[in-house]
Amino acid sequence: MKVLRTPGEMHDLREWFRDQPETVGLVPTMGYLHEGHNSLLKAAREENGFVVMSLFVNPTQFKAGEDLSTYPRDEERDLVIAESSGVDFIYAPAPDDIYPSGFATKVEVEGLTEVLCGSETSRGPGHFAGVTTIVAKLLNAVDPDVAYFGQKDAQQATVIRRMAEDLEFRTRIVILPTVRERDGLAMSSRNAYLSPESRERATAIWSSLLETESVFAEQGLDAALDAGRRHLELAGITPEYFEARYPGTLDPADGNGTDPVLVAVAANVDGTRLIDNILIEPSSTHRRTK
Under the criterion CB under 6 A, does residue 61 sit at the interface with ligand AMP? no
Under the criterion CB under 6 A, does residue 179 sit at the interface with ligand AMP? yes
> From the CB of residue 45, how many other CB atoms can be counted at a distance below 10 Å?
16
Pairwise CA distance, residues 174 & 132, whole Å: 16
Under the criterion CB under 6 A, does residue 30 sit at the interface with ligand AMP? yes
Q: Which one of 69-77, 185-193, 239-247, 251-259 is the stretch in contact with ligand AMP (CB under 6 A)?
A: 185-193
Under the criterion CB under 6 A, does residue 225 sit at the interface with ligand AMP? no
Angle at 254 between CA 278 and CA 286, to 5 degrees: 75
Minimum distance, C-beta of residue 158 to ligand AMP, in the bound complex (Å): 12
Of residues 85, 133, 158, 178, which one binds ligand AMP by CB under 6 A? 178
Minimum distance, C-beta of residue 72 to ligand AMP, in the bound complex (Å): 10
Angle at 124 between CA 144 and CA 272, to 5 degrees: 90
- The active-site residue out of 37, 127, 231, 286 is 37
Minimum distance, C-beta of residue 40 to ligand AMP, in the bound complex (Å): 6
Upper half-sphere CA count for residue 260 (Cβ side, 13 Å) = 10
Of residues 117, 186, 266, 280, which one binds ligand AMP by CB under 6 A? 186
Number of chain residues interacting with ligand AMP (CB under 6 A): 17
Of residues 4, 17, 29, 53, which one binds ligand AMP by CB under 6 A? 29
Touching ligand AMP, residues 129-168 (CB under 6 A): 149-150, 152-153
Nearer to ligand AMP, 30 or 159 (CB): 30
Judged on CB neighbours under 10 Å (0-12, 13-18, 19+), 162 is buried
| Gyration radius from the chain CA atoms | 20
Nearer to ligand AMP, 4 or 27 (CB): 27
Helix/strand/coil percentages in the chain, nearest 5: 45, 20, 35
Give me the DSSP letters along 80-107: HHHHHTT--EEE---HHHHS-TT-----
Residue nearest to ligand AMP (CB): 150
CB-based contact 68:190 (threshold 8 Å)? no
Pairwise CA distance, residues 21 & 98, whole Å: 29
Does residue 37 carry a catalytic annotation? yes
Q: Which one of 17-25, 136-144, 178-186, 232-240 is the stretch in contact with ligand AMP (CB under 6 A)?
A: 178-186
Under the criterion CB under 6 A, does residue 280 sit at the interface with ligand AMP? no
Upper half-sphere CA count for residue 218 (Cβ side, 13 Å) = 7
Nearer to ligand AMP, 158 or 189 (CB): 189
Pairwise CA distance, residues 247 & 81, whole Å: 32
Nearer to ligand AMP, 46 or 218 (CB): 46
CB-based contact 68:59 (threshold 8 Å)? yes
Residues that bind ligand AMP (CB under 6 A): 29-30, 36-37, 39-40, 149-150, 152-153, 176, 178-179, 186-189
**Catalytic residue list:** 37
